[in-house]
Structure 1
Amino acid sequence: MDSTHTQENPSAHRSFHPEKYAPKPGPGRTVSKEETKGTGANTGESSGRRGEDLAKKGDDGMHDLGPKGRSGRPSGTRDASAVTGVDPQDASGESGSH
C-alpha cells in the first residue's frame, strides 16, 4: 500500500482567514459621469411572450405531459408548429407540403 504524504500549505490557512492576513480595502473606484447618466434606452415592460403564458394558451406547439419520474420534473413534447427551422417536420415523421 502506498503511503500518503501531506505537505504543509500555509497559503491555504491565509486564504481562509482574510481578517487576519488580507490588507485593508482601498478607497474604491470613482463612478464616471457616463455611468451615472444612463443609456437613454427605454427599459420598461417586456414585450416578449412568457413561456408560462404560452403553455397555458396551448397554441405554441408544446404539449405538457405532466411530472416525470421521482424528481417530478415537468415533461412534454412538441409538434411541427413549435419548430422554427427550415422544413420543420412533425414528430410522427410526416412533413408538410413538399
Structure 2
Amino acid sequence: MDETHQEENPSAHRSFHPDEHAPAKGPGRTVSKEESGNPHGTPSKSTGRRGQEQIKGSGDKGGMHDLGPRGRSQRPSGTKDASASTGVDPQDPPGTRSAG
C-alpha cells in the first residue's frame, strides 16, 4: 500500500482551537429604545367573523354544505351545489341577468 501524503494546514488547527487563536469577544451592540419591549407591537382584537361563522350565519343561500367529520380520521367533509362553483343561480332562466 502506498504511503499517503498529507499537506500541512495551519488554518485547520486554528478553526478547531478557537480558544487559543480567536480574538476576545467584543462589547456587542446596543439595543435602541424602539427595539426594546415587544418588537411586534400590541396585538389587536379582531372584529371580523371566521369563515365558519359567516357560513353558518348566512342562511340557506346555497354553496357549501357541511356534513360533519367523517371516518376514523374525523376529517371535515361536505358537498357543494352548482352555485358554489359557478357563482350563478342555476334556477335563474337564461337572459334575465343584466350584463355588468
TM-score (ref. length: structure 2): 0.37
Asked which structure has the greater CA Rg, the reply is 2
TM-score (ref. length: structure 1): 0.38
